[in-house]
Amino acid sequence: MCTDHWGWGLPSEYAQSEATIAIGESESRQLHGEKLDVSWLVEVNTSAVAYSEVPLGHGTAIFAGAATQPEATIEASTILNTTARADHDCVVGNVVNPARVHFTGK
């Protein structure tokens, strides 16, 4: 078992697996994510609008009703939550969890 000092971890057979971390609170998500030896998946809900040209950082999740526009960037371990929008020329930073917001660029 691979554990941190809190005893939280994954059985060793899951080391270097692909995973999604389902912790909404950003600081906890980052803390636990840094301790696990996995490849973080990008998850996009089927009812979200995420343009294929928009870079999505590892460990990012785009939830139902969220949208990205061309020329936006979504960085690592970010949850673009329900109805959040990232419009053109917008950068949504690492390890954030915006919901019901509309980001615009420049």
Residue 29 within a domain = yes
CA dihedral sign of residues 30, 36, 42, 48 = negative
Q: Chain-wide mean pLDDT for the chain?
A: 81
Token pair recorded at residue 82: 């329900």
Q: What is the mean pLDDT of residues 4-24?
A: 63
Residue 7 within a domain = no
Residue 1 within a domain = no
pLDDT at 39: 84
Angstrom distance (rounded) from CA 101 to CA 92? 11
pTM of the model: 0.76
Domain that includes residue 41, residue range: 14-106
Tally of domains within the chain: 1
Angstrom distance (rounded) from CA 13 to CA 57? 26
Residue 77 within a domain = yes
Residue 101 within a domain = yes
Residue 9 within a domain = no
Residue 3 within a domain = no
Residue 5 within a domain = no
Angstrom distance (rounded) from CA 57 to CA 42? 7
pLDDT at 36: 79
Instruction: Please state, for a pLDDT cut of 90, what percent of the chain lies above it.
Output: 30
pLDDT at 13: 63
